[in-house]
């Protein structure tokens, strides 16, 4: 310990630690996506989750010194990450980056799944 976390900015590097990855990837969204839940997720993204501050209105993200936020419209990224990994990031943040812990701090786990459903709607889209 005591050394700075070596952060690998590549898209292909999972954010979840290797020893937990397989287990985390198997965790599925327990909530069936519905238009109502996606709408609730949109409100969280723009409201109390404060996601829009760093991830911007269109999900492409803003430039942050050191390490910019993820472009949610990148369908390669969308395909690479399982829902369970996104939930892990909401609960733990993305170590070594500005991505803060959200679930358990500002939103509940259920709200976390809703905002994940909303983030999935950015896939392949440039508007919104
Ligand atoms: C203070 C700025 C900030 C806020 C607020 C923020 N994020 Fe992030 N987020 C980031 C940064 C920076 C990254 C890039 C981290 C990385 O590359 O690992 C990121 C990455 C992510 C990722 C993807 C990590 C990956 O797999 O590459 C997800 C999912 C995410 N954020 C969701 C959210 C949600 C949902 C909210 C609101 C509830 C939110 N973020 C709020 C800065 C922020």
Predicted TM-score of the model (pTM): 0.92
Residue 78 above 90 pLDDT? yes
Mutate to test the pocket of ligand 1, among 47, 49, 70 (most ligand atoms within 8 A of CB): 70
Among 9-13, 40-44, 105-109, 123-127, the minimum mean pLDDT is found in: 123-127
Calculate how far, in angstroms, residue 52's C-alpha sits from the geometric centre of ligand 1.
10
> How many Å apart are CA 30 and CA 10, to the nearest integer?
29
Domains of the chain: 32-120 (1.10.760.10)
pLDDT, tens digit (0-9, with 9 covering 90-100), for 15-36: 999 999 999 999 999 999 999 9
Structure tokens at 38: 């996606």
CA 105 to mean position of chain CA atoms: 15
């Amino acid at each position: 310990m005591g050394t700075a976390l070596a952060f690998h900015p590549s898209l292909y590097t999972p954010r979840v630690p290797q020893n937990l990855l397989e287990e985390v990837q198997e965790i599925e969204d327990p909530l069936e996506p519905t238009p109502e839940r996606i709408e609730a997720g949109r409100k969280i993204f723009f409201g109390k989750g404060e996601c829009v501050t760093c991830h911007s209105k269109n999900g492409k993200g803003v430039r942050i010194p050191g390490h910019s936020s993820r472009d949610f419209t990148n369908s390669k990224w969308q395909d690479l990450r399982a829902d369970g990994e996104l939930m892990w990031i909401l609960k733990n943040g993305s170590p070594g980056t500005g991505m803060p812990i959200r679930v358990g701090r500002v939103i509940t786990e259920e709200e976390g799944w809703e905002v994940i459903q909303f983030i999935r709607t950015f896939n392949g889209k440039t508007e919104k």
